[in-house]
Amino acid sequence: MERLGLPRYAADDLPGIRSELRDGAGFALVRDVVSHSADAGDCLTRFGQALGRLLPQNAKQEVLVEIVDFSDEDEFDDRGYRSPGELNPHTDPPPMIVLLCLRPARHGGTNRLVSADSIREAIRKENADLLPVLEEGFAFFMPDETTPGAGRSRDVIPVLIDGPGGMSCIYYRPFIERAAEVAGAPLSGKSVAALDLFDHFANDPGLQVQHTLVAGEALILNNYRVLHARDEYEDWPEKAKRRHLLRLWLDADWLPEPPQAHAGRRNPMAALL
Rounded to two decimals, what is the model's pTM? 0.90
Q: Are 88 and 199 in contact (CB under 8 A)?
A: yes
pLDDT of residue 2: 38
With a CB cutoff of 8 Å and minimum separation 6, the contacts of 154 are 139, 140, 141, 142, 179, 272, 273
Domain 8-271 sits in CATH 3.40.190.290? no
The amino acid at 181: E
Amino acid sitting at position 162: D
Please list the residues that pair with 213 across neighbouring strands.
Answer: none
Please give the distance of CA 1 from its chain centroid, rounded to a whole number: 22
pLDDT in tens, the chain (273 residues): 333 468 999 999 999 999 999 999 999 999 989 977 679 999 999 999 999 999 999 888 999 999 998 776 655 445 555 678 899 999 999 999 999 999 999 999 999 999 999 999 999 999 999 999 999 999 998 876 666 666 677 789 999 999 888 899 999 999 999 999 999 999 999 999 999 999 999 999 999 999 999 999 999 999 999 999 999 999 988 888 999 999 999 999 999 999 999 988 887 876 544
Tell me the angle at which helices 173-183 and 189-202 cross, rounded to the nearest 10 degrees. 160
Kindly state the helix (H) or strand (E) to which residue 238 belongs, with its residue range: none
CA dist 58 to 86, 106, 173, 195, 222, Å? Answer: 22, 28, 20, 28, 20
Res 261: pLDDT:
92
The full set of domain ranges for the chain reads: 8-271
Q: Are 150 and 247 in contact (CB under 8 A)?
A: no
Strand spans (E) along 1-150: 8-10, 27-31, 53-55, 64-67, 87-90, 96-103, 107-108, 111-115, 138-143
pLDDT at 150: 62
